[in-house]
Amino acid sequence: MVGAAQKYDRIVQNGVQLRSSPAVNEAIQLMREGYIGRVYMARGLVFRWRADIGDKGFSPVPEGLDYDLWTGPAPMRPFTENLVHYNWHWHWDYGNGDVGNQGIHETDLCMWGLDVGFPTKITSMGGKFLWDDCKEVPEVQTSIYHYPDEKKIIQFEVRHWCTNLEDGAGVGNIFYGDKGYMVVNHYDSYETFLGQERTPGKKSKAGGDHYKNFINAVRAHDKTILNGPVETAHLSSGLAHLGNIAYRLGRVLTFNPKSEKFVNDPEADKMLTRNYRAPYIVPEKV
């Protein structure tokens, strides 16, 4: 997608609305200026109520659904209501769990706030602990992304049912510095807490218009206007995929951010792409 946007000179926006929030942009600027000190850690949180979806078994394709088009590049399987329309997120052939669903918004902010790209060490653990349904992805998952050279780390958490909030955030991010920490709550607000006493500091709440930002960039044909350029979509979704690969393989992985390949690990490299079902094939060269 990045290559196609560049080659064909198209304006492509990453749909992470928080990047157009004045409050979140102010939060990023405060971190760059050292307001909470040297920022070394980010936590991404996705605490969403995701219910038991059961197992409805196979059934005829409903009228009005082009199941071949819906399936796209995934393997063609017998139709089940457990896939349409939202529950495809919970099956590996079609989705990647909440880390790649709601989580993309938070993985993007983790990387943006820490000012990092892809990590060099990844590990992930989790599972299904409540529902005996047909979901394949973990309902509870914690992924760790380590940047040893930068001395930074990202921790990403997914929980699916009754849970506490983390400093008021259930979907959002927490950044830790040596002078305090910052809580970014979902798309449009932040709070800071300073020192050992966690003294409340600066805070703000202000939403933005991500759609307007995209339209303005299209009309001006100027990708520098974009708050969420296409490259950020590659990074944020890529981070989610790296965590899921580590989870599915059940081991710590070493990654080379420059080549975007795993280090001496062909088994993990195979999971960086998929076997596309014709004719829904993404070409190697755009």
- For the chain, what percent of residues have pLDDT higher than 90? 94
The DSSP secondary-structure symbol of 277 reads: P
Amino acid in the structure at residue 109: L
User: Is residue 286 scored above 90 in pLDDT?
Assistant: no
> For 198-248, how does the pLDDT look when each residue is reduced to its tens digit (9 = 90+)?
999 999 999 999 999 999 999 999 999 999 999 999 999 999 999 999 999
Mean pLDDT of the chain: 96
> For 58-102, how does the pLDDT look when each residue is reduced to its tens digit (9 = 90+)?
999 999 999 999 999 999 999 999 999 899 999 999 999 999 999
Residues ≥6 apart with Cβ < 8 Å to 59: 79, 80, 81
Which residue's entry shows tokens 């755009």?
A: 286
Integer CA distances (angstroms), 99 to 38, 52, 104, 164, 250, in order: 27, 18, 7, 18, 17
- Domains (range + CATH), the chain: 2-272 (3.30.360.10)
pLDDT tier at 124 (50, 70, 90 boundaries)?
A: very high
Which residue's entry shows tokens 């082009």?
A: 66
The pLDDT value recorded for residue 115 is 97
Helix, coil or strand: residue 243:
helix
User: Is residue 283 scored above 90 in pLDDT?
Assistant: no
> For 160-203, how does the pLDDT look when each residue is reduced to its tens digit (9 = 90+)?
999 999 888 999 999 999 999 999 997 899 999 999 999 999 99
Q: How far is 68 from 138, CA to CA, in rounded Å?
A: 27
Predicted TM-score of the model (pTM): 0.95
Residues ≥6 apart with Cβ < 8 Å to 286: 3, 4, 7, 8
Among candidates 284, 254, 281, 283, which has minimal Cα distance to 269?
A: 254
